[in-house]
Structure 1
Amino acid sequence: MPDASRITPPVVAPTEAPVNPVSMHIRLDPGMPLAHLESVYHAVNTEKNAQGIYQLTLQDAQVPANRDFELLWVPAPGNAPQAALFNEQWQGDEYALLMLMPPAPAPAGATARRVPREVIYVIDTSGSMHGDSIIQARAALKLALERLTTADRFNVIQFNHQTSALFSRAVAATADNLQRALSYVDRLVADGGTEMLPALQLALGQQPEQGVLRQIIFLTDGSVGNEQALFSLIHQQLGDSRLFTVGIGSAPNSFFMTRAAQFGRGTFTYIGKVAEVGEKMAALFSKLETPRLTDIEIHWPQDQPVEMWPARIPDLYLGEPVLVALKLQQPNLPLTLTGDAAGVPWQQQVTLRGGAARSGVHQLWARRKIADLMDQRAQGVAEPEVRKAVLDVALTHRLVSRYTSLVAVDKTPSRPADQGLENKALPTNLPQGWSATKVFGSLPQTATASEWNLLVGLLLLACGVLFSRWPGVGFGVRVGPVSDGKAHGGNVL
């Protein structure tokens, strides 16, 4: 991979103490009653006041920065999709954040309508998946296969520096095909480099039959640096498919997998430990089988300009609210939300002044617009045009972006005046659950073994020069019959 050095920084040896300890304090104002609040990977202390605002701190004062921090909260459900609203006035404009929340799950024993599906499972078997990650991925994939029905079709694709598929095309989920797939998954091992593009090309290259819902489930730690090339491929070849990404391990590339799922009109699921596989994958597959609200649209009076992000609203799934950020000029503008709730038309009226006032809504809208502008590069928009548009938004709303930074000048001396500057890559912590020898081997922490190869090459070259200048000494291959130390009718190579 040409950009491997960007995603394989030097790491602290496992025998050394972790660096960059982290502490945090969180103030959470969800704006609605919660059914559940949980810190998934770190123990926290939680306090809630009379206004429904939560204060959270780590139970350990400091923790090593070697895995993601994930805070999960679930709104208290109702019997139908609900909409919550937050708004803010800033520099003469009205900004709003609309949150669509799914209804409560169906009662136990109730059956939901399911459509025939073609499900393509793509699993990363590169060396960075060694250890806990490949164990989690295999368990998740086997659970997925066991949930398929006879009305479904499926295929399994694995990739590292090579890509291969179990079947040439998607096949029916018969007992024989499923058993063959389960045995195939059991034999998967993590080794080799990471070449994700061919795997995505193979998964997106075929379109389903009429009336079949095609879902691609991508299980990976996302250790790639060529995100833009992958985004472009998804944009160009997605068609009517949906792409759902599953992040595996303690330090997945959440940026890539979140944006890939948004490009692919799907969702991102994160699995950080083996114990979560059953619960999280069951929830994922349940929502894939029965989306709660589809074809969502927001309508407003035609004479009122409204700028909305995302421009195309994704489907609403169980346990995952949809957030829509809006900028408008009329503060009391009425909006009408419509959608399809499992075959039943759904509609709700919202007045923007009816929401709770919150600061920072304008910046959230700006971040979403910047993200959309950056994604336009994958759609062929020229970089200078994107840069100009991003600068306008980022400077107006005072945000850090690819083209803007917050600059602070520190005049405190940090080195002796007579000592020169030098560039040095600072090591980070090895992600929790990773194997240093499997990912990096015994080589130095660089992208390739090029320095070692260069050293060996120079040593051999020096030996060659030495032997060529030494009287009576030579080496090579003699061709032809040999007599008294000389070759006749042949050549010396």
Structure 2
Amino acid sequence: MRYGLYHYVEQRPVVLPLLNVSAEASIKELAAQVKLNQAFGNDANFPIEAVYAFPIPARAVVTSFVMIKQDGTRVVGKVQEKEEARKTYDSAVAKGKQASLMEQQHPDVFQVAVGNIPAREQVKIELVYATELTEDEENDSIRFHLPVHIGARYGQAPTSTLSPRNPFADPSDIQGTFSLNITTTIESASPINKVACPSHTVSTELGPDPSLPNYKNLPFSNYARVSLSSTAPLDKDFVLTVKSAGLDAPRCVAELHPSPSQDTVALALTFVPRFKLPDVARQEYIFVVDRSGSMEGDRIAAARKALVVMLRSLPHKDSLFQICSFGSSYQLLWKESRPYNQDTLEEATRHIDTMQADFGGTEIRKALKGCFATRKVDRPTAVFVLTDGDAWDLDGVLEEVETNVTAAAESAPLRVSVLGIGYSASTAMCEGIARLGNGTCILVGEQETSFTGKIARLLKAAKTPPISNISVDWGRAVEAVKAPEAVEDDFEMVDEVVATSKSKTLNIFDESVDPTAVEETAPPPASLVKLPPPSVVQQSPFNIRNLFPGTRLNVYAILKGRNVPQTVTLRGSTPDGAQIELPISVTLSHLQNEARAPTAIHALAARKIIQDLEDGKHDLRATLSDPDDKGLLTRTVKASIVRLGVTYSISSKHTSFVAVDETTEVTPFASERVEPHRPPLGLPPPPPRAAIPAPAPPPPSRRAAPAVNLSSYNYGAISSLVTTADRSALAQPRLSSMSSYLADESDEEMGDDFVCDSVESESEESDMEMGFGGGGYSTSSARKGGKSKSVALTDPVEALARLQSFDGRFTAQGVFDFIKLKDGVDLQAVRDLFPAGASDDVVATVLAMAFLATKLDASVERDSWEGMYEKAKEYLEEALTGMDAKVSAEELEVGVVKLLA
């Protein structure tokens, strides 16, 4: 299987040589701008029309599209309504003009057609997109994700008029020399503490780019540069993490539109909430685990690890839980959710340790529908989906989630959160489920060394009561939405004609009348769309429903007028009636944008508003002359999306980029012969075999290609950055071993606080089980009854999680073997600190608490173990109360810490 730019000759796909790929990313605080350059060569002796697809994160927005010709001429794309853009492109290609068209095929997959590429010439496509960044393992760290391939997604891909349906019918080999370069510049408002690349080995340089005119005056510690150069295509997405103090603090950045014709200011508000509320009482927890073929290897191992840690953090009082495995079909662990206790916890853990990626395809919707149907409707339900999201049925899955979440009773709400697993996890699927499920989405790489902190934040959000009536005061008076004023009809009302008493004769056998004739009446014309002017405040999310501790909140707005507010205020209320009010100062952005590209904050805000419109989150119904006219509403939503896309020059479901070179025309199907005086432009000569027949016939129309039924085909879209075999052929079954627990090493240039991590692109696993002191910990998931294979662990948090009971206590035997004491200190010395009658489980619980609080590496965030610790503390305090002990839990912990090695 080959990926890249391709065209058809005699209904056979021929791949054009991918000569080089470069990605330039500029990370500035919490957003990034990425410029992709991809050069292809037409090694045929006639002009061709070719297509290819490329991925970007679903949260990103394409802001610039340029076709660069062989002679360096830049043909800049313009945004048009989708059908209009297609007509512009088709007309240009028919006239022999060189043109290109970019359309959204999926929220995170775009497709490009390039028409009339001259014989023996190169073509370069330059794309610029802006994207917000997500949280990483720690609150003050961010994660930059550059997708390099589209997952081999299950099901039927969205249809497209740009390409044939089956691009993988034995295409010819890619020729030419390939080169790949990724460069990333990082700018932070405060000193950078850590830069890591968990996906690849990279080169990192500290300090600002010397090419900047004033780089000597810039603070050295606030800048870094990361680069990757390769002559081989990447086999997985590129991920970069940056840690800098204050990234979680509240901030609001304003951006004035540079065009005088656009009288607007865009704002981006963001922060990581820090608060604590009592857990939701009497909640049901359902874990929906993807066990399809694409989860094989490290991904299913990551899912097992996540489940083990999450189960230990569930509230032990009055909780129900269930595990659902899915692939082509789904399977529940129990007929219905069971009470959370020690027996069910151990049974579930034994089940988790046997999980493999052996369920076939990825039918997410079926599994969700089954879980929603069996959930308890007398209490809140939190659903966690653990998946790589590699399925094409995005609309069906999102509809299933939204329908059930909306239908849930206010007293028994349903929330759906997602743990996206794998560097190539579908951001459209994972983030879409969480967005419409009023939950959270966290992404982890299958080879990340530690992600227990992310798991803890995901679970903490699900246990937090929903905060209602959240709003932002943007400093603008907002008028109530109303329907357009009635327009006078262009006809007159007349009195009904009253029949006279004069009789009339009716011929009941009129030979001129055909009783079988069907009277054709033209349907009434569709109601005219009359878009109201843009609101004074356009905000996304339209309704803010998610405010969770430890999970970043991003809110965007486009305001009329160029008056920048000094402060914006976030307001809301808690379930117990407490009021929330957080004022946030506004700073004006002076960040430089990519030349010719729209301003980043306006583009991101417009993209988020469009996403709300697509999700049905808007108030456009109130603006309609007939609010019950569904067709009118659909057309009004589309018109609103088109207006935003054209106004801010961004791609969307209903807007596309089209670029037409008006300066020259080519002869559509030139002779195969190459002119003697014309050099081959650095491309290899055509292959001697008949991959390209001679004389060259006209390539068949892209619309004339035979349709292929792919309903059961594991469809993998074309990638712009990679050439790789099907993942299922590469994936190897692996043991249930966990990621390595690695201590950070300091960098002398930045001092002890700076760490620059990088790992090899392929992880190596050992078949040996080692003691924790030597790099691992071996434990069995079952303490009693049944047989379960031994699981080799190197993450101390997971190792301790497996030793914690449902009620918070830690089992004595496992903890006593796990935790090391100082030389000369035995277990009896520890027991002597406790009051008479204290059980070994009480002693073990304090030992585990002391270890978690003081002996973990500094890189392990408190979020990753805090839930376990708090649950243990609750058990300990109840146990001490039952013993009438005079010593407190804190005093015991302080005493035990002194005895730890």
Please indicate the TM-score interval, normalised by the length of the shorter structure: 0.7 to 0.9
Q: Which structure carries more relative contact order (alpha carbon 8 Å, separation 6+)?
A: 2
What SS is found at the alignment partner of 1:326?
strand
1:345/1:17 CA distance change after superposition, 3 Å: farther
| 2:391 corresponds to which of 216, 224, 235 | 224
Q: Distance in 2 between matches of 1:46 and 1:315?
A: 38
State whether residues 153 and 171 of structure 1, in contact with CA within 8 Å, keep that contact through their aligned partners in structure 2.
Answer: yes
State whether residues 245 and 260 of structure 1, in contact with CA within 8 Å, keep that contact through their aligned partners in structure 2.
Answer: yes
| Residue in 2 that maps onto 1:138 | 304
1:55/1:75 CA distance change after superposition, 3 Å: closer
Select between 176-185 and 418-427 the one with higher mean Cα deviation: 418-427
| Residue in 2 that maps onto 1:407 | 658
Counterpart residue identity of residue 371, structure 2 = A
| Residue in 1 that maps onto 2:644 | 393
| Residue in 2 that maps onto 1:26 | 184
Does residue 421 of structure 2 align to residue 421 of structure 1? no
Q: Distance in 1 between matches of 2:668 and 2:299?
A: 40
| Residue in 1 that maps onto 2:84 | none
1:177/1:10 CA distance change after superposition, 3 Å: farther
| 2:420 corresponds to which of 236, 247, 250 | 247
What SS is found at the alignment partner of 1:369?
helix
| Residue in 2 that maps onto 1:85 | 253
State whether residues 250 and 432 of structure 1, in contact with CA within 8 Å, keep that contact through their aligned partners in structure 2.
Answer: no
State whether residues 223 and 252 of structure 1, in contact with CA within 8 Å, keep that contact through their aligned partners in structure 2.
Answer: yes
* Residues 155-206 of structure 1: CA deviation (Å, up to 9, x unaligned): 1111111122112332211111112212222233323222111111123335
| Residue in 2 that maps onto 1:310 | 541
TM-fit CA distance, 1:83: 3.2
1:42/1:438 CA distance change after superposition, 3 Å: closer
| Residue in 2 that maps onto 1:118 | 284
State whether residues 325 and 365 of structure 1, in contact with CA within 8 Å, keep that contact through their aligned partners in structure 2.
Answer: yes
Q: Distance in 2 between matches of 1:337 and 1:384?
A: 33
| 1:197 corresponds to which of 365, 368, 374 | 365
State whether residues 265 and 315 of structure 1, in contact with CA within 8 Å, keep that contact through their aligned partners in structure 2.
Answer: yes
Instruction: Return the structure number with greater helix share.
Output: 1
Equivalences for residues 95-106 of structure 1 within 5 A? 95-102=265-272
Structure 1 stretches lacking a partner, 5+ long: 440-493
1:226/1:335 CA distance change after superposition, 3 Å: same
TM-fit CA distance, 1:227: 0.7
Counterpart residue identity of residue 173, structure 1 = Y
State whether residues 139 and 277 of structure 1, in contact with CA within 8 Å, keep that contact through their aligned partners in structure 2.
Answer: no
1:303/1:157 CA distance change after superposition, 3 Å: closer
What SS is found at the alignment partner of 1:24?
strand
TM-fit CA distance, 1:75: 5.7
1:173/1:252 CA distance change after superposition, 3 Å: same
1:165/1:29 CA distance change after superposition, 3 Å: same
TM-fit CA distance, 1:357: 4.2
| Residue in 2 that maps onto 1:436 | 729
TM-fit CA distance, 1:121: 0.4
State whether residues 366 and 397 of structure 1, in contact with CA within 8 Å, keep that contact through their aligned partners in structure 2.
Answer: yes
Select between 37-46 and 3-12 the one with higher mean Cα deviation: 3-12
Normalising to structure 2: TM-score of the pair?
0.42
Select between 228-237 and 143-152 the one with higher mean Cα deviation: 143-152
1:242/1:426 CA distance change after superposition, 3 Å: closer
Equivalences for residues 135-284 of structure 1 within 5 A? 135-151=301-317, 152-191=319-358, 192-205=360-373, 208=376, 212-238=379-405, 239=408, 240-274=413-447, 275-284=449-458
Does residue 238 of structure 2 align to residue 69 of structure 1? yes
| Residue in 2 that maps onto 1:360 | 600
Counterpart residue identity of residue 560, structure 2 = Q
TM-fit CA distance, 1:349: 2.8
| Residue in 2 that maps onto 1:298 | 472
Q: Which has the larger radius of gyration?
A: 2
Select between 316-325 and 285-294 the one with higher mean Cα deviation: 285-294
* Residues 200-228 of structure 1: CA deviation (Å, up to 9, x unaligned): 11233356566x54221101111211111
| Residue in 1 that maps onto 2:879 | none
1:426/1:76 CA distance change after superposition, 3 Å: closer
TM-fit CA distance, 1:120: 0.9
What SS is found at the alignment partner of 1:324?
strand
TM-fit CA distance, 1:249: 2.4
Q: Give % identity.
A: 22
1:41/1:395 CA distance change after superposition, 3 Å: same
What SS is found at the alignment partner of 1:135?
helix
| Residue in 2 that maps onto 1:337 | 570
What SS is found at the alignment partner of 1:405?
strand
Q: Distance in 1 between matches of 2:402 and 2:541?
A: 15
State whether residues 277 and 465 of structure 2, in contact with CA within 8 Å, keep that contact through their aligned partners in structure 1.
Answer: no
State whether residues 249 and 433 of structure 1, in contact with CA within 8 Å, keep that contact through their aligned partners in structure 2.
Answer: no
| Residue in 1 that maps onto 2:294 | 128
1:144/1:351 CA distance change after superposition, 3 Å: closer
> What is the root-mean-square deviation of aligned Cα atoms in Å?
4.2
1:266/1:252 CA distance change after superposition, 3 Å: same
State whether residues 29 and 54 of structure 1, in contact with CA within 8 Å, keep that contact through their aligned partners in structure 2.
Answer: yes
1:263/1:25 CA distance change after superposition, 3 Å: same
What SS is found at the alignment partner of 2:607?
helix
What SS is found at the alignment partner of 2:270?
strand
TM-fit CA distance, 1:18: 13
Counterpart residue identity of residue 364, structure 1 = L
State whether residues 218 and 246 of structure 1, in contact with CA within 8 Å, keep that contact through their aligned partners in structure 2.
Answer: yes
Q: Distance in 2 between matches of 1:8 and 1:341?
A: 53
TM-fit CA distance, 1:280: 3.4
Q: Distance in 2 between matches of 1:33 and 1:345?
A: 35
1:213/1:154 CA distance change after superposition, 3 Å: same
Q: Distance in 2 between matches of 1:289 and 1:18?
A: 55
What SS is found at the alignment partner of 2:616?
helix
Select between 246-255 and 405-414 the one with higher mean Cα deviation: 405-414
Does residue 582 of structure 2 align to residue 348 of structure 1? yes
State whether residues 642 and 654 of structure 2, in contact with CA within 8 Å, keep that contact through their aligned partners in structure 1.
Answer: yes
Q: Distance in 2 between matches of 1:208 and 1:223?
A: 29
Q: Distance in 2 between matches of 1:18 and 1:172?
A: 62
Select between 272-281 and 225-234 the one with higher mean Cα deviation: 272-281
Query: Aligned pair count?
Result: 430
State whether residues 537 and 559 of structure 2, in contact with CA within 8 Å, keep that contact through their aligned partners in structure 1.
Answer: yes
| Residue in 2 that maps onto 1:487 | none
* Residues 89-140 of structure 1: CA deviation (Å, up to 9, x unaligned): 3534332333331256x8xxxx973233321100111122222222222222
Q: Distance in 2 between matches of 1:235 and 1:161?
A: 22
Select between 154-163 and 198-207 the one with higher mean Cα deviation: 198-207
| Residue in 1 that maps onto 2:206 | 47
* Residues 31-72 of structure 1: CA deviation (Å, up to 9, x unaligned): 566665443323442434435764433244566333222333
What SS is found at the alignment partner of 1:400?
coil
Counterpart residue identity of residue 310, structure 1 = P
* Residues 414-454 of structure 1: CA deviation (Å, up to 9, x unaligned): 99645332569996557799431779xxxxxxxxxxxxxxx
State whether residues 67 and 431 of structure 1, in contact with CA within 8 Å, keep that contact through their aligned partners in structure 2.
Answer: no
Q: Distance in 2 between matches of 1:11 and 1:136?
A: 34
Q: Distance in 1 between matches of 2:199 and 2:465?
A: 28
1:34/1:313 CA distance change after superposition, 3 Å: farther
1:417/1:82 CA distance change after superposition, 3 Å: same
TM-fit CA distance, 1:321: 2.3
TM-fit CA distance, 1:383: 5.5
What SS is found at the alignment partner of 1:70?
strand
| Residue in 1 that maps onto 2:788 | none
What SS is found at the alignment partner of 2:611?
helix
Counterpart residue identity of residue 193, structure 1 = G
Q: Distance in 2 between matches of 1:288 and 1:35?
A: 30
TM-fit CA distance, 1:241: 1.6
Normalising to structure 1: TM-score of the pair?
0.73
Counterpart residue identity of residue 263, structure 2 = D
| Residue in 1 that maps onto 2:225 | 56
State whether residues 122 and 156 of structure 1, in contact with CA within 8 Å, keep that contact through their aligned partners in structure 2.
Answer: yes
State whether residues 470 and 570 of structure 2, in contact with CA within 8 Å, keep that contact through their aligned partners in structure 1.
Answer: yes
